[in-house]
Structure 1
Amino acid sequence: MTTATSPRADQSLSARRILVTGASAGIGAATARALTARGARVALLARRADRITALAAELPGAVAVPADLTDDDGATAAVHTAADRLGGLDAVVNAAGVFHGGPVVGDEPTTPDQWRQMFALNVVALLVVTRAAAGYLEAGTAPAVVNVSSMSGRRVPNPAGAVYAASKHAVHAVSEGLRAELAPRGVRVATLSPGFVRTGIVDGWEPGPLRDRYTERLASVGLEPGVVADAIVHVLTSPAQVVEYALTSVDQ
């Protein structure tokens, strides 16, 4: 769904300076590829230095900035480094995220540490990165923030995803607040809400029925990361009046 008030020419990505978090794999890596293919210069932020260094070597004008985004000071420093190496920032794509599946009290339950990890990366890191980037964005060209949420940010599909859904509900809430806060400064904030995406989110899970169920679901209705990346490109090239974009997979 897109919402606009009046038509305006699309925004070009040529030479736009864009920071992408979670760029070592999945949606983040696919987004970095899609953006550079359209002429953008991209800063890749992620914890796995080897992966983003290798990806940056493939992408014209890309720079790798390794960082643990759950370290507030480290994440803030990484944003400043990215802006310095790109000569500023025109957009931020907050694609970093983690999903620990399992119920709170039932079989194969998640742990308090896993709950904290999901909120630390899915919510707090997004806020830290956005705040650190805000000043650069205000001085940028067609500045925008794209927050990758989830359809779980609008519903709780099953008990095994309840805490993850809570973190993504929080992403929607803070995105709406950021949209109101940054709009007067000329910075657009958009929220992308894909359904299941084949990002390897279950790779680190313990073998068992829960992992098997999610693996089957991803295979049957999951989107390829490149589809979501193309939607992010659409958001960043849409007229400035477009304030929200939602993408869903068939989920029956």
Structure 2
Amino acid sequence: MDGRRVLVTGASSGIGAAVARAVADAGGQVALLARRADVLEGLAAELDGVALPADVTDLAAVTSATEHAAEEFGGLDGLVTAAGLARPGGILDADPGDWRTMLEVNVLGTLHAVRAALPHLTAADHADVVTVSSMSGRRLGSPELGVYAASKAAVHMLTEGLRRELAPDGVRTTVVAPGFVDTPLFEGQRHPTAARLGEVTATQGLPASDVADRIVEVLAAPPHVVTVELALLSIDQG
């Protein structure tokens, strides 16, 4: 990863923060984008990275932040879209506002980050887009996560479209589909399913660092090797 310049969204916690650490540990430069400026700035200082406080649902803010990162690094050759959230609930008992929030963050947030980064990625000698989806985007594990799964299935299809669109420009595109990961994804939520899902992810989930290490392996692969999809589970989840 020496010399690689990678922008990570959702970098203030969970998989995003773990990816930022893993990229820095492997010798890369990292720009960290997320909403929580205080947490972000502390992590950026720790990793000698660039903090980019922005909301992925705001295309203008993401574009401005991405331009700043490219100016600091002299370009970008990697993007990892790890910003995402889950709001459990069935169609009849969920808050419809949660549906919109999941689609805006998980789907539009991914599109915004890619749109902002592409001019810099296509100008690099070789570059990567890694989108963080979920095993739920491949198969539905729980009816209470149906809308979340739909948003992640959209990320899978968007990434496939991007792979075909960007291959002529030498930009590799990979979708990562982890199962349960031990992150605070379900913390602080009122829906009764959230507590159970939080306990399951804590006891059966992969450490976020394991997912991050696999993502760095994708980024560090020889330029002619494309990992189309990386799906991974904890052995405890089965």
Q: With CA pairs under 8 Å and 6+ residues apart, which has the higher RCO, 1 or 2?
A: 1
Is the CA contact (8 Å cut-off) linking 1:21 and 1:28 kept in structure 2?
A: yes
3-state SS in 2 of match to 1:246: strand
Q: Is residue 220 from structure 1 mapped to residue 203 from structure 2 by the alignment?
A: yes
Q: Deviations over 1:62-110 (max 9, x none)?
A: 10010011112111211111111221101000000010011111xxx22
Q: Secondary structure of 2:24's partner? A: helix
- Whether the 8 Å CA contact 2:34–2:53 is kept in 1: the answer is yes
After TM superposition, the structure 1 = structure 2 runs for residues 58-207 of structure 1, keeping only pairs within 5 Å, are: 58-60=46-48, 62-105=49-92, 109-206=93-190
Amino acid at match of 1:148: V
Residue 14 (structure 1) aligns with: 2
1:246 corresponds to which of 213, 231, 234: 231
Native 8 Å contact 2:127 2:170 kept in 1: yes
RMSD value, Cα: 1.3
* Residue identity matched to 1:216: E
Q: In the TM superposition, what is the alpha-carbon distance from 1:243 to its structure 2 partner?
A: 2.8
Query: What is the letter of the counterpart of residue 215 of structure 1?
Result: G
Distance 2:203 2:117 in 1: 38
Partner Cα distance (2:36, 2:162) in 1: 28
Partners of 1:216 and 1:129 in 2: how far apart? 31
TM superposition score normalised by structure 2:
0.95
Give the drift of 1:207. 6.6
Bigger fraction of residues in strand: 2
Q: Which moved more, 1:68-77 or 1:161-170?
A: 68-77
- The list of structure 1 runs, each at least 4 consecutive aligned residues, that deviate by more than 6 angstroms after superposition, is none
Q: Give the CA deviation at 1:139.
A: 1.6
Q: Deviations over 1:134-160 (max 9, x none)?
A: 110112243000000000001111111
Letter matched to residue 113 of structure 1: G
1:48 aligns with 2:36: yes
Question: Gaps (5+ residues) in structure 1?
Answer: 1-12
Contact kept, 8 Å, 1:69 with 1:75, in 2: the verdict is: yes
Which residue matches 1:5?
none
